[in-house]
Chain A
Amino acid sequence: MTHRLSRRSLATVVATTTAALALAACSTSGGSSTDKGAGEGPVPEPTSPVTISFASWVGAEPDMKTLVDKFQTAHPNIKIELQNIPSEEANEKLTAQVAGGNPPDVAFIDASTTAQFASRKALVNLDNYIKRSEVVKADAYVPAFKTFVTYENSMYGLPFDGESTALFYRTDLFQAAGISAPPTTWPEYEEAARKLTNPAKRTYGNAMFASSPEAAYYWYPWLWQAGGKLLSDDGKQVLFNSAEAKSAAEFYVKMAQYAPKDYLNSNSYDGRQAFANGQVGMYVAGSWFAGTLGDEFPQIDGKWSVAPLPKGSAGCGTTIAGDALVMFSQGKKADAAWKFIEFLSQPDNVAQWTYKSKAGTTLPPISSLLDSPDLVATKPILKGFAEAMPCGVSNVVANPDWPKIEEAINAELAKAIYGEQTAAQALDNAAAEAEKIIR
């Protein structure tokens, strides 16, 4: 405690005269993002050496190193300087850099934050470049992934990898509980959860999180399956307290009785131990979970499997997530930066980065790759996730205030999971809050 404090006392000091200058500098930083890349034909190669900074938390991964080396060989005048940022703190670092007028040229970011950066004019609108490119085609991307990087009908990022959400289940526990197949409908899901739950033996049906952002995030698939929506397409109208949404929330909250209370205030990464220890029999998670289980818990190899999420009254539905490549509008080397992300986005390079990568269990966000038989042949575990993609919905909404609204949904659903209110009340309260925020 006290020693945490002193880190910041070290973080305390340099020139009074610079204060005013800094103020001036940060008010003049930032530039227009729409005119970048205007022109015709292929983007020209730089004639003199240029260095591009590339911020990410994957710069040290062997696949990324290989791709960067390949690029530098093909483009001798462009040098890539890898800036590795710890993934947990990437947002703070990038934010400070943007505010300081000193952002990297290119960054690898969580795709769901693209709209946040784009709506604040921090990113380059890529439409001009995409129009001129022979490699990157806007309609080659899986539409659901494209929604992450689209803001006001323009693309501000190139989707680079992705995943959908599916149902992981313990085959050994299913067998012991006398369940023959993974559930395909809501009632079957509840039935399975009930059979798996036996607090005396410390076994439970599924895991449940009443924390931020998990409480809302793992409710979304049920919402899509019930035919519900979050906001209207223009982002102005609250739709998440409709009758469909309420039925989804009631079911979701009801499942808390089949979940270990221990993990209510945890998250889906830390909760992996409940699945690995055999505490829970079913676990809703993205394809990353397959990689984590393989890496960290080889002792349960062969004791778990993956199935699509059960279907609701409106059919199938799954939440997707992913990462994207973006360029910052304050950067002065936009053309060279584009060359780099264009290269990374070539289909063969995207394949190399996603399903062909040794350790990775992510999906390629390009339709032709996602549908290719090569994918399932290379990484059989991804089959179910790829097949679920037509049901994929992005939870990102075109509204700069969305994080606050999502936080309201989180907080209210969490109260419902803790039994302090009903699921319907939770949604109504969150909707009232959201309307105040949207105004």
Chain B
Amino acid sequence: MTATIWRRRVWLGFCYVVLVPGAILFLAPFAWLVSASFQHVGDIFSWPPQWIPKNPTLDGYKGFFGIGKAGELAQGSEGAWRWFLNSAFVAGSVTTLQLFFNSLAAYTFAKRRFPGRNLIFLVFLATMMVPPQVTLIPNYLVLKHVPFFGGNDVMGQGGHGFLDSYWGLILPGAVSAFGIFLLRQYMMSIPDELLDAARIDGAGEFRVFWKVVLPLCAPALAATAIFTFTYAWEDFLWPLIVVSSSDHYTAPLGLALFVVKNRTSWNLLMAGSVVATLPMVVVFLIFQRRFIQGISMSGLKG
């Protein structure tokens, strides 16, 4: 056996020795959540914590989805299915819109030279610098006065605008400075020669973006998709102020209803949290496959 193969084995062994204990530490809280979701309320906070439920039960899940006897006893369960459909629709739409709009803007910032580029970029970033605690009320006012929506007239008066609608949940999230920045940084490493070659062949700017740049950005688009979906799915503060009727409730908002002052329905909350986490895990699993070293860009430079 040669020395290189041995070195390789030692290196891989080292990877596992470092990664596996770390992974357990990262997994533990989630594992506890899953375990707690199968326990009776009275067992969840027993000491020491039960990692494997002694008296496993599905009551939390049944209660959460309003199935059977446990469902009748549980509070506020009727809408759970609806919450998830709403969240899936909102998060799915937001992710699709953002992948397109963010990459378009990111391409412009990364590969175009135009007056005001740096300033506009800083303005985009500035949108993330005001804490939401202060923008909450101004944003509420803007939403309420969007013209032509929700019974409003041209002046934005008379109705409720975007409040309590899918528009209000989706449209404000159609672009994010965060996603633009992430993609811009990635696109900067794409060699300009490639783009110039396409331009010389007579491709317009949009075509260069769509046919040349985008296909090279798969890993970064995957990362953007993971984050965008996760944020949109977990988002709480925005739906809280936009939505009033339970028809438009999203999953995090619905889950928060179980956290009642001094009277939290822990078993339903735990079960609901597990269910609410799964779509994000699935999305992660799908997109992380795009992180495969060095196939996309090899041979472009040098």
Asked if residues B231 and A3 are in contact (CB atoms below 8 Å), the reply is yes
Task: Identify which of B23-31, B171-179, B289-297 touches chain A.
Answer: B171-179
User: Quick one: which of A11, A62, A82, A295 contacts B132, CB cutoff 8 A?
Assistant: A11
Asked if residues B241 and A296 are in contact (CB atoms below 8 Å), the reply is no
Asked if residues B155 and A21 are in contact (CB atoms below 8 Å), the reply is yes
User: Within 8 Å CB of A298, what residues of B?
Assistant: 42
A118 CB, nearest partner CB in chain B, Å = 20
**A:69-88 near B, CB below 8 Å:** 81-88
User: Within 8 Å CB of A83, what residues of B?
Assistant: 244-245
User: Within 8 Å CB of B156, what residues of A?
Assistant: 15, 17-18, 21-22
A168 CB, nearest partner CB in chain B, Å = 14
Please indicate which of the listed interface residues A9, A57, A276 has the most CB atoms of chain B within 10 Å of its own CB.
A9
> What 0/1 readout, one digit per residue, does chain B (109-143) give for beta carbons within 8 Å of chain A?
00000000000000000011001100111111111
User: Within 8 Å CB of B132, what residues of A?
Assistant: 7-8, 11
Task: Identify which of B5-13, B186-194, B207-215, B253-261 touches chain A.
Answer: B253-261
A180 at interface by CB-CB < 8 Å: no
B184 at interface by CB-CB < 8 Å: no
User: Within 8 Å CB of A99, what residues of B?
Assistant: 137, 140-141
> What 0/1 readout, one digit per residue, does chain B (19-58) give for beta carbons within 8 Å of chain A?
0000000000000000000000110111100000000000
Bound form: Cα–Cα A21–B253 in Å: 30
Binding site for A on B (CB under 8 A): 41-42, 44-47, 75-78, 94, 127-128, 131-132, 135-147, 155-157, 160, 162-163, 171-178, 227, 230-232, 234-238, 240-241, 244-246, 253, 256-257, 259-263, 266
**A:209-259 near B, CB below 8 Å:** none
User: Quick one: which of B143, B145, B245 contacts A25, CB cutoff 8 A?
Assistant: B145
Q: With A8-B132, A9-B127, A21-B157 as given contacts, are A14 and B137 in contact (CB-CB < 8 Å)?
A: no
> Could you list 29 examples of A-B contacts with CB < 8 Å?
A8-B135, A9-B127, A11-B172, A13-B171, A19-B142, A21-B157, A22-B138, A23-B141, A25-B141, A25-B144, A25-B157, A26-B141, A57-B260, A60-B76, A61-B75, A86-B259, A87-B259, A88-B259, A89-B256, A92-B240, A97-B140, A100-B140, A100-B144, A102-B160, A288-B262, A292-B263, A297-B45, A298-B42, A359-B263
Bound form: Cα–Cα A60–B254 in Å: 11
A61 CB, nearest partner CB in chain B, Å = 6
Give the 5 A-B residue pairs with the shortest CB-CB distance, closest first. Answer: A60-B76, A86-B256, A13-B172, A22-B141, A10-B173
Chain A residue nearest to B46 (CB atoms) is: A299
Q: With A14-B171, A18-B156, A86-B257 as given contacts, are A7 and B147 in contact (CB-CB < 8 Å)?
A: no
**A:334-383 near B, CB below 8 Å:** 359
Asked if residues A10 and B235 are in contact (CB atoms below 8 Å), the reply is yes
User: Quick one: which of B137, B162, B244 contacts A53, CB cutoff 8 A?
Assistant: B244
Asked if residues A5 and B232 are in contact (CB atoms below 8 Å), the reply is no
- Please tell me the size bucket of the interface on A: 35 or more
Chain A residue nearest to B94 (CB atoms) is: A10
Q: With A60-B76, A82-B246, A88-B259 as given contacts, are A297 and B137 in contact (CB-CB < 8 Å)?
A: no
Asked if residues A86 and B142 are in contact (CB atoms below 8 Å), the reply is no
User: Quick one: which of B77, B176, B266 contacts A10, CB cutoff 8 A?
Assistant: B176
Please indicate which of the listed interface residues B144, B232, B235, B240 has the most CB atoms of chain A within 10 Å of its own CB.
B144
User: Quick one: which of A11, A82, A95, A295 contacts B137, CB cutoff 8 A?
Assistant: A95
User: Quick one: which of A15, A82, A88, A93 contacts B142, CB cutoff 8 A?
Assistant: A15
User: Within 8 Å CB of B174, what residues of A?
Assistant: 13
A273 at interface by CB-CB < 8 Å: yes
Asked if residues A277 and B137 are in contact (CB atoms below 8 Å), the reply is no
Asked if residues A96 and B256 are in contact (CB atoms below 8 Å), the reply is no
